[in-house]
Structure 1
Amino acid sequence: MTPETHNRARPLSVEDRQAMIIDAATPLVIAHGRAVTSKQIAEAAGIAEGTIFRAFGDKDTLIRRVVENYFDPQPFRDGLRAIDLALPLEQKIAAIVVLMRGRLEHVFRMVAALGADERPTDGQRHEYAHIIAELLVPDRDRLRCPPYRVAQIIRMVALASVLPGIGETIPFDVDDITQIILYGVSGEPDADHAGHATAGHAHGADAILHSALDSALDSAFRSEWEPTGPTTLPATDPAQTSQR
């Protein structure tokens, strides 16, 4: 065996080659959406354009694999589960907020590039809430509502803080968000105004919360990819017509 043969790089496996192409394609998909070309991806990956089609068959399949890889929930799960249960509640909430905002910003970049249909599943969101709730169980004596509901509140506030048009114009840092989640805007409620929701009311509120979060996600990005035409005003004021 000659030294040249011995030092020659071993060919990549199919899986490794696909992973390399996906890594190169991801920032291009975020930047250009579905308009990205196979030529751009090939140049970024340092490969021949035909290699893309041998590895994935077509560009749509590659983009689908990019999205699946980008939305992989495992790093977020691992980050949540790595939070120390023994941390003080304030530090624990702050750590959750950092990870949650990072995850949401990560998701929004791809949603803005490809449309609202590309997003994590409901099952993933429920799983995250359960992991967060488990982190909060040791502190349940300090919480005014069940840990799972607190997990939903954390997601709601974190989501609002990164939504375009909200988080950009009214910036909140992690400490701001942590304080809002823990103490609200007026501190601890007094005995006359504390009140306790019934189980049925809490269940209904959870359903409204889920619906509101989904609606916010849709509306926040719809204008990014759905052009709207000029608004046509009625020739006659409806109020004047009704008075005739």
Structure 2
Amino acid sequence: MDPDQRRAMIVAAALPLVVEYGASVTTAKIARAAGIGEGTVFRVFPDKDAILAACLAEAVRPDDLVAHLTAIDTDQPLHARLHEAAEVMRARMERMGAVIGALAATAGTMSRPAPGKGGALPDREAGFAAPRAALAALFAPDADRLRLAPERLADAFQMLLVPAGRSGAPDPLTTGEIVDLFLHGALAGDAG
């Protein structure tokens, strides 16, 4: 296994442990979860902070989200496409929130990675751009029926889902409510 594959395998094993234990997870636990010796962990990561930074970077990477969004069947009605997209995006927000929350609650002195490559966090706009384009493609088949361009609607839909994905809200909107509100507005029936 090359170092990049080993690194990805260690991060995949570490993510659920980071959610459970936060920054207090030990490298021994990570190694056991990955089915390797602790020394092998340190062949690809200089220290535990580097592992935690790589886990954080993995949690916020948009690649998996984009793959799921582009796999949505565009032959479905728009509301079904948006419902599926909202479910995928909310699951991503929950995963990101779990990792970030666990690390924030226990991090102490862990240094925050800078935007860029490797284990570093992508910049905020880069994290939104690819999912926004994938969402726009979901609107595109109905472009002739839309009030705004697919790209503008994708941006609005994405921004609506970001706060909806946060945990701890007393009575969060369901995915169906979000999609219905987005497609039909706040007014009931034919109220004008």
TM class by smaller structure: 0.7 to 0.9
Aligned positions of 1:151-170 closer than 5 A? 151-166=154-169, 169-170=170-171
Are residues 47 and 137 of structure 1, via their aligned partners in 2, closer, same or farther at CA, if it must alter by over 3 Å? closer
Looking at structure 2, the residues matched to 180 and 112 of structure 1 have their Cα atoms a distance apart, in angstroms, of 29
Count of residue pairs brought into register by the alignment: 178
The Cα of 1:104 is off from its aligned counterpart by 1.4
Are residues 37 and 150 of structure 1, via their aligned partners in 2, closer, same or farther at CA, if it must alter by over 3 Å? same
Give the match for residue 144 of structure 1. 147
The Cα of 1:98 is off from its aligned counterpart by 1.3
**SS of the residue 1:86 aligns to:** coil
Looking at structure 1, the residues matched to 178 and 101 of structure 2 have their Cα atoms a distance apart, in angstroms, of 24
User: Partner amino acid for 1:85?
Assistant: T
Are residues 52 and 87 of structure 1, via their aligned partners in 2, closer, same or farther at CA, if it must alter by over 3 Å? same
Are residues 90 and 103 of structure 1, via their aligned partners in 2, closer, same or farther at CA, if it must alter by over 3 Å? same
Structure 1 residue 98 and structure 2 residue 87: aligned? yes
Give the match for residue 186 of structure 1. 187
The Cα of 1:180 is off from its aligned counterpart by 0.9
Which 4+ runs in 1 deviate beyond 4 A?
Answer: 117-120, 187-190
Are residues 160 and 21 of structure 1, via their aligned partners in 2, closer, same or farther at CA, if it must alter by over 3 Å? closer
Identity score, percent: 33
Are residues 133 and 107 of structure 1, via their aligned partners in 2, closer, same or farther at CA, if it must alter by over 3 Å? same
- Render the CA deviation track for 1:66-92: whole Å, top value 9, x for unaligned: 233333322211111122222211112
**8 A Cα contact 2:61 2:127, kept in partner:** no
Looking at structure 1, the residues matched to 167 and 59 of structure 2 have their Cα atoms a distance apart, in angstroms, of 20
Looking at structure 1, the residues matched to 189 and 141 of structure 2 have their Cα atoms a distance apart, in angstroms, of 20
Give the match for residue 48 of structure 2. 59
The Cα of 1:55 is off from its aligned counterpart by 2.9
**SS of the residue 2:61 aligns to:** coil
The Cα of 1:182 is off from its aligned counterpart by 0.6
**SS of the residue 1:154 aligns to:** helix
Give the match for residue 173 of structure 2. 172
**8 A Cα contact 2:62 2:131, kept in partner:** no
Looking at structure 2, the residues matched to 187 and 164 of structure 1 have their Cα atoms a distance apart, in angstroms, of 27
Give the match for residue 69 of structure 2. 80
Structure 2, unmatched stretches of 5+, are 105-111, 114-120
Provide the aligned C-alpha RMSD in A: 2.7
- Render the CA deviation track for 1:173-223: whole Å, top value 9, x for unaligned: 222221111111215888xx7xxxxxxxxxxxxxxxxxxxxxxxxxxxxxx
Structure with higher RCO (Cα < 8 A, 6+ apart) = 2
Looking at structure 2, the residues matched to 173 and 125 of structure 1 have their Cα atoms a distance apart, in angstroms, of 22
**SS of the residue 1:96 aligns to:** helix
Looking at structure 2, the residues matched to 140 and 55 of structure 1 have their Cα atoms a distance apart, in angstroms, of 47
Give the match for residue 37 of structure 1. 26
The TM-score with structure 2 as length reference comes to 0.77
Aligned positions of 1:222-233 closer than 5 A? none
Looking at structure 2, the residues matched to 45 and 137 of structure 1 have their Cα atoms a distance apart, in angstroms, of 42
